[in-house]
Amino acid sequence: MSQRNKLRKFAEVLAFPNVYENFDSSNPALTGENGQTIELKGKWNELHFKNANPITLELACGKGDYAVGLAQRFPDRNFIGVDIKGARIWRGAKTALELGLQNVAFLRTRIEQIALFFEENEVDEIWITFPDPFLRNSKSNRRLTSPMFLEQYRKFLKKGGLVHLKTDERLLHEFTLGVLAQQDNYEIRYHDDDIYANPLPLPELEIKTFYEKQHLAAGKTIKYIRFQRKS
């Protein structure tokens, strides 16, 4: 992608009514449409979605394939895609606007600071779809299912809330199972190291991201873990 094209998308996304940004961990306020500052922590339903429907996050959402796909399937739920890459957020947000989807929004920020933007018990469900697996052991704490991130999710995920991990990486799949085996606050509800070898346990798993399509074309198997917050 050319630099000019990136700059155009960055400028365009700032005017979108379904995108919010924050890059300052010392100030949790968000920048919304046309540069307006808004405090959404604990108020996503009230101020953005204008309803009381359950909220689902898609972390490391990329182009928002899952957030948009879920929003289409479940009009009575709200979805928020989270990523740091502006050009990717632009694609997901623009698609949502073109489809007229009012139940999906996007948050451009670092996931390390995700708990700054959601109040306790504000989120019902989390999807983590094909995140960077950070294959080097020295970076294992950056994996989105590391103990550090799981503790962050507990700050806003409701008790009983589900977390879904979908990945092509065996290492991340096994790492997550190992982490969860030592967790008192989460329990595994389902896992499979080749979801397409059998009937899918959830129809939502039919949604395929840009990266998943690439992985499948390369002959990789897709792995899935569903786990639940206990306490």
pLDDT at 2: 63
Domain span at residue 167 reads 40-229
What confidence tens digit (pLDDT) does each residue in 120-149 have?
Answer: 999 999 999 999 999 999 999 999 999 999
The reply to whether 184 belongs to the active site is: no
- Asked if the structure places residue 67 within a domain, the reply is yes
- Asked if the structure places residue 3 within a domain, the reply is no
- Asked if the structure places residue 21 within a domain, the reply is no
The identity of residue 183, as a single letter, is Q
pLDDT at 66: 97
Q: For the domain that residue 50 is a member of, what is the CATH number? A: 3.40.50.150
- Asked if the structure places residue 126 within a domain, the reply is yes
- Asked if the structure places residue 10 within a domain, the reply is no
pLDDT at 65: 95
* Mean per-residue pLDDT pooled into runs of 10, the chain (231 residues): 71 90 86 93 98 98 96 98 92 97 97 96 98 96 98 98 98 98 97 96 95 95 98 92
pLDDT at 1: 52
pLDDT at 8: 79
- Asked if the structure places residue 27 within a domain, the reply is no
- Asked if the structure places residue 212 within a domain, the reply is yes
- Asked if the structure places residue 131 within a domain, the reply is yes
Name the active-site residue from 76, 132, 193, 194. 132
Structurally, the chain folds into a number of domains equal to: 1
